[in-house]
Structure formats: structure tokens, C-alpha cells
Chains A and B, each alone.
Chain A
């Protein structure tokens, strides 16, 4: 996304966005005093469009559009270095996670292939009870239109016995699939009455 150079704060500030981020992540973003320790500790700052401290600042200013369309939100590896080092005890990685969920809901996902990877990963877990890498990678690569992505790594990993040709048979596959179903069911239920309850909820 093109970087904005001037913010007309009152016009673009979405207070409800701040509230929703805080509610979903159970964190108080106002606690952030912009020391920058999250960005100092972040391993992916080099690919981010906004370093994570700026994401926090943009949330404080209610800049929903910039935040939810940013690449950073989807490039976050959820390694939790930011959470560990935050002097204000903010679970920053959890805030990032909340933003990913919101960006899906708002249909503003900047990096569709990353989203796709998340989806395929979970699908694989749902089907086999744990990730089946040999199946996941070709499916993801084909869907993401890069059929030879990461192919160069295959011989090395194969040699070390990290890839298997058949999914491992683990106990309780069914139960894991049930967890997914339960969660999906809950998600559906939650979404419907939520909109009805909105006014009383904000009180």
C-alpha cells in the first residue's frame, strides 16, 4: 500500500477500531509509550512496511485503513519477541493476531498468499490431525501460482528425513477435526447475534 504522508487525524481516526482491537486482543494499546523495543526485537522488520511500533502508534490514532491494509500484519511470524520485551507488558503479538482476524473480516488482506498459507496449514491439521508438509506445500504452491516455490529446499529436507510421503497416523484425528468444527460453529453463532447486540455491548 502507498505510504500516506499527511493524516487528517479527526477525519481518519476510527475510535471504534481502537475499541475493537483492544477488545479482541484484551490489551490496552494506550499503554504503549513508543519506546520501540518491539521493533528493536522484531526479526521481520526488514520486510515490514510499517515497523511494529508504528503499527501500535497507528492503532492509537485509530488509523484502521492503514493498519488493516499493511503488509506487516501478515508478515508477522508471531514469534512473540515483541511481547517478551515489551516494558509495558503489552502482548503485542496478540494485537497483531487480532489485526489479522480483523483484516480478514474487513476483506483488506494485503498478502493473499500468506492468508492462503494459514488456511491451507489449518486445513491440513484438520484433515490429518497434524501438518502433512508433503501435501501442504504443493497445494499451497499451486494455489499461490508459484509451482516451484521452495523446491530447492526439498532434497536437503528429504535427506534429513524431515518430509514423509504419507501423512503420519496419529491418535484422535477425529477429535481434532471436531475441535475445528466446534470452533467454526461458534464463529458462525457469534457473528449473527453480535450485530444485533452491538449498541448494548458498547455501553
Chain B
């Protein structure tokens, strides 16, 4: 084989700590290497042209580029050699930047290591074979997981573009967190008034299939051809018949059911519709509170229902959907402030979370939009807001900023003054983070127009005195300890990843950070993609953000899906496993270990069975390769021979 080696200087990124000319010279001595050079920027257009010229002039059959990580420029160089007439897999990359020049300063040692890496790449290249990808059709249907504002936006944008959409929502209605909010900052417009039309749109779009009260059970397949099992959880109400009249709710005798939509303020019934604008507006029974299920008696709802929709025998159902792409928009949970013992650990009814206060402010909330405190229903005069509860706090493992609390406190303080004009609001804060459009002006308005008292310092302790709460904090600007007596304390509870986010990530084969937020493919340049092709992210599941950013990301994810679906087929990756039937001893171990179900039995003439790989399902993980006792199954482009050649080069 005639091999050419191109050593990149990457400006000074590599050249400053690696003698690239020496690397090029040394590799020229290797057998089969007929051409070697170093170049300022190999990825630049002239750099690529040089590779192509060398292929033509020296009759190269394989190319090695020693430069950055293959994650950066492997596709660039593969295309470049392909244009010059080589197969794209007759190319190898040695990473001498991230693995060498950026991590060591000893020029001599770096140069030696760079030589080793190039030699290994050359050794592997000798065993490379041309590989060819095939084309498979794309299933032009998209699955959106999560019906909050990000998921709704993604679903609507996909549907607008003519795609079929399956929207899966865990709860019985879409709307997510935004539906729980009273008003939105900085415009103070009614949250459900601006979200409502979008929710209605979802229900009216013919190409959106809404699966509420459903969860993703299992996902197999690959970009363009995912197979998704969705568990439709039993609601014990036939939704095709239910009209959402609410008669059953009125008559349900089980009245002490914690109202999760109202954040446990007030009670709901065992059969319930969370809020008036719910989509779909269908009733569902919570089995753990229903007298029929717990005590075996009752049955009032079944009797009262005018359309006979109640069905106690209903079972969970598994639906299977074939989709080509998945948008994940599973949102977030709120930090549980009961871990703060010094704030009462959740014992004091008048120390509440930010979302609870949001429900209190809301006209559809537990107190009909009148501000009352939970303990005795009195209208509070002095209200204290405490920022950064479960944010920027390493001691509770939440060192990140939740990004929305500064703004929602300012909004809630303004609304408080609107609801109770004689009230006084105090905000304990560490820093005010208001970098959005018109955000800082909004916070200023809270202070200047609405007279909200901002106190720079954290709160050390909250304890009762009479029927009021004492908030003991610091004013670090004064350098003094301060004390505020309050009727109601609102803790600006921060954002954390949704419960179950890790389990879903494992089903989707996407990665998540240490706090459970999903990892984007690149923090700047691929913010909605994941490292699994065909899976995209939208909203807070990727990291804390506000409504405009969530909506923007929902639209961005939809645009990505539209781009993917603008083609009819996608090329498969030919780096898959392949069985050598002559060596296969039919033990079936590979079939057992394959995480993708990509290997099956193949019947030969005479009834003999051999393993067979479905190339379109195989993800090239190599597990079968490592498991096979007689090395009959090989991963193309990473065969045992290729890896051994590299190892031998290094240690031989």
C-alpha cells in the first residue's frame, strides 16, 4: 500500500510543543509510507488540496492526517480523500492536539508520543478495507416526549411543516409547568392566555397524535427508523367517550386527594381534571385514592357519568410507533426545600415554594387568585422572598444558577403589590441575574415603582414568632444582621432535572450531566442535537432556561428534524459487525449481548444455524466482537487485526 502522512501544525496549537517537521521526517522512514509532510493548517482549503494533489502525484492508496480529534475534522478529511478518488475509509486520523500538544509541555516527549500515534495510525491503515454504506428510507414521523411549552412548540412546528407527530405526555394534560404559572415575566401577561391557544392548536392539528397519560417504555432502532413502545397508562375513563363535563368530579366522595397541579395546596378528588383549560379535557381516576379501588365500594362516578365512560377494568396499553426522529422535552422538577432545616424543613405552612405562590396568585388556583396564607387564610401584609433556595449552593449539591428565580421573584413581588396594595415585599438576594431582553428594567421597576425592598444577603434562619415568621438574614451592604417579620415567606426554589430523566436517557442512549440534565452534542455549536443521531433536545431537560429560550429551542429542534426529513433516505454507517460463517460455532452469545437486537439466527441449507448481523440496526458498539469465543464476528474498521496492528506498533 502507498501511504501519505500529513502532519498538521494547527498554527501554533500543535507546533509550539510538537516538532511537526521531525514527526513528518520520521514517519517517512516507515514501510509503505511514500510521502510525508507537515503543514500549517491541514484542514484549510489549500491544506486539503495538498492532500488531494499528493494522492494524484504519488499514487497514494491511503492517507493519515495527524492533527486534532477525529470528532472535529474526520468528516472533512474523509470527504477530501473521497474527492480525490479514494474510499473514505482508507483514511486514518492521529490525534496529536487534544492527546498530545494541549496536555504536555515537554517538546521532546510530545514529539516522541506524536510519532508513536502516527505510527499506530499507519499500522492500522495497512489493514483498512474500502467500506461502502447503503441507503435506508427515513420514517418521516417524529416523536416528541413531553408536552410542556418546549414540546408543544416543537410538535406544532413539525406539524406545520407537514410531518406526522406523536406527542407523548406523562400527565393527563399537556401544558407542563407553564400551565401552572399565573403570569410571565417581564411582560406580566397571563400565562395560560398565551399558552392556551398553542395547546388548543395541538389538539386540533390533524397530524399530531396526542398520547396523554402515557410514557415511553422502550426505544430501539436508529436515526430514521426508531421503534418506540409507549405505555398508555390506565385512566379508568374511556377518553373517546368522556366529554369533560365534570359531573363525576363533583360527586366523587374521596375529597382529600393532594392536588399536585396546585402543588399540594388544597385538595382534589380521586377522579379529576387538573384545570379548566386542560388538553385533552378528560377525567382520570387516581387509583391510590379511589374508594372503589382502595375499599372495594363506591362507584358513584360510574353511576353519574352521562356517557358511561368510567371503566374500572381498564388496563395499561402498549402502543408501538415507528418514527424517524425524537425530540426530548421532558422539562424539570422543582428543588425540594425541605432539606433546609434552618428554613423549617417544610414544617411551617407559611414558608412555601415559588411555584406554590404562583398557584396562590393564579385565578384558577386553590384560593381563586386571592392572596391568602396557607395556615389561617389571612391576607399577608409582609411577604419575604428568599432567592437561591437550591441554587448556587454547593452544600446541597446544586452549585448551578437556576436562571429564572431572580426574575420570577421580581414578578411575584410586583403582582403581590397589585393584589394587596398595602403590602410590603422584601427580597433577600445574593446577586440579581437578569440578562434577558427587558429583564433588568423589570427588576428595577419592582424596586422603583413598586417599592419592593431588596436586601443583599442570604437568610440564615426562619422561625415562628406568634403567628408570624421571623426571617433572620444579613445585609452585607450594611455589614449588619437584619430581621424581618413576615406573614408569608416565599422560597425561590430552584430548578432540578425531572425525576426519571436518567432512566429515559438510558432508553434513548443519550448522555446526561451529573445533575441529570441532558447533554447537548456541543455546548455552543450543536445546542439541540445529542450524540445519538436523530435525537434532539428542547427546553429545560437540557439545562435551566426561561420560556422564550425553551420555545426557541423547541423550534430549533423542529427545524433540525425538518432538515433531516428533507431527504428520503439516509446513508447507513458501514462500520458494523460482520459474521464469518465458517468460524461461527453457533453459540449464540453475540445474540444475547447485543444491546440493539441487531443479531439474529440465520438458517443455512441443511438446517444449520449461524449468527447474522442486521447492518441497519447494528450501532457498531463492538460488544459482540469482544464476546465471540472464536473471533468469528468482527467489527468492520475496528477488526482484531487492525487493533492488534496498532498495539504491536506501540509495544512491538
In chain A between 68 and 94, which residues have their CB closer than 8 angstroms to a CB of chain B?
81, 85-89
Q: Select the residue from A35, A38, A42, A88 with max chain B CB neighbours within 10 A.
A: A35
Stretch of A47-55, A107-115, A137-145 lying at the B interface: A47-55
Cβ-defined contact, A40 with B472, below 8 A? yes
Q: Is there an interface contact between A51 and B392, defined as CB atoms closer than 8 Å?
A: no
Please choose the segment from B79-87, B212-220, B458-466, B496-504 that sits at the chain A interface, where 4 or more of its residues have CB less than 8 A away.
B458-466
Neighbouring B residues of A45 by C-beta, 8 Å: 480-481
B473–A40 contact, CB under 8 A?
yes
Indicate if the CB atoms of B430 and A85 lie closer than 8 Å.
no
Partner of B393, one of A34, A41, A42, A87: A87
Say yes or no for B456: interface residue by CB 8 A criterion.
yes
**Complex interface: chain A residues within 8 A of B392 (CB):** 33, 87
Q: Which residues of B contact A34 (CB under 8 A)?
A: 430, 476
Contact partner of A51 among B394, B461, B472, B480, CB < 8 A? B480
Tell me which of A36, A41, A46, A88 has the highest count of chain B C-beta atoms within 10 A of its own C-beta: A36
Contact (Cβ within 8 A) A42 B481: yes
- Contact check, B479 vs A50: say whether CB atoms are below 8 A apart: yes
- From 386 to 429 in chain B, residues with beta carbon under 8 angstroms from any chain A beta carbon are 388, 392-396
Q: Which residues of A contact B603 (CB under 8 A)?
A: none
Question: A124 to B474, alpha carbons, bound, how many Å?
Answer: 38
Q: How many residues of B contact A (CB 8 A)?
A: 22
Chain B residues near A85 (CB, 8 Å)? 342, 460
Q: Is the CB of B394 within 8 A of A40?
A: no
Cβ-neighbour of B395 out of A38, A46, A53, A87 (below 8 A): A87
Question: Is A39 interfacial (CB-CB < 8 Å)?
Answer: yes
Q: Which of A40, A45, A87 has its CB near the most chain B CB atoms (within 10 A)? A: A40
A41 to B392, CA, bound (A): 18
Partner of A35, one of B430, B461, B479: B430
The B contact surface, by secondary structure, is strand
Closest chain A residue to B481, Cβ basis: A45
A-facing mask of B314-343, CB < 8 A → 1, else 0? 000000000000000000000000000010
- Across the interface, do A89 and B394 meet the contact criterion of CB distance under 8 Å? yes
Q: Which of B393, B396, B479, B481 contacts A46 (CB 8 A)?
A: B481
Q: How far is the CA of A40 from the CA of B483 in the complex (A)?
A: 9
Is the pair B474, A87 in contact by a Cβ cutoff of 8 Å?
no
CB pair B457 A36 closer than 8 Å? yes
Interface residues on A, range: 20 to 34
Inter-chain contact B461/A41, CB cutoff 8 Å: yes
Is B229 interfacial (CB 8 A cutoff)? no
User: Is the Cβ of B395 less than 8 Å from the Cβ of A39?
Assistant: no
Interface flags for B360-394 (1: CB within 8 Å of A; 0: not) read: 00000000000000000000000000001000111
The distance in angstroms between the C-alpha atoms of A22 and B480, with both chains bound, is: 26
A35 touches B458 (CB 8 A): yes
Q: Given contacts A36-B473, A40-B457, A85-B460, is CB(A51)–CB(B393) below 8 Å?
A: no
Q: Is the pair A51, B474 in contact by a Cβ cutoff of 8 Å?
A: yes
- Chain B: CB-nearest residue to A50: B479
| B476 close to A53 (CB less than 8 A) | yes
Whether A127 is near chain B, meaning CB under 8 Å from some CB there, is no
Instruction: Give Cα A46 to B472, complex, Å.
Output: 13
How many angstroms from the CA of A33 to the CA of B430 in the assembled complex? Answer: 9
Most buried by B among A54, A85, A88: A85
Asked if residues B479 and A37 are in contact (CB atoms below 8 Å), the reply is: no
Q: Which residue of B is nearest A43, CB measured? A: B481
Which chain A residues border B430 with CB–CB below 8 Å?
33-36
Residues from chain A with a CB closer than 8 A to the CB of B476 are 34-36, 39, 51, 53-54
A88 contacts B457, C-beta separation under 8 Å: no
A window 12-67: CB within 8 A of B = 33-42, 45-46, 50-51, 53-54
For the complex of A and B, list the 3 residue pairs with the smallest distance between their C-beta atoms, beginning with the closest. A40-B460, A36-B474, A41-B460
Q: List 5 A-B contacts (CB under 8 A).
A: A37-B459, A42-B481, A45-B481, A53-B479, A87-B393
Binding site for B on A (CB under 8 A): 33-42, 45-46, 50-51, 53-54, 81, 85-89
- In addition to A40-B460, A88-B395, 19 A-B residue pairs with Cβ atoms within 8 Å of each other are A34-B430, A35-B388, A36-B456, A36-B458, A39-B457, A39-B474, A39-B476, A40-B473, A40-B481, A42-B460, A42-B481, A45-B480, A45-B481, A51-B474, A51-B476, A51-B480, A53-B476, A88-B394, A89-B395
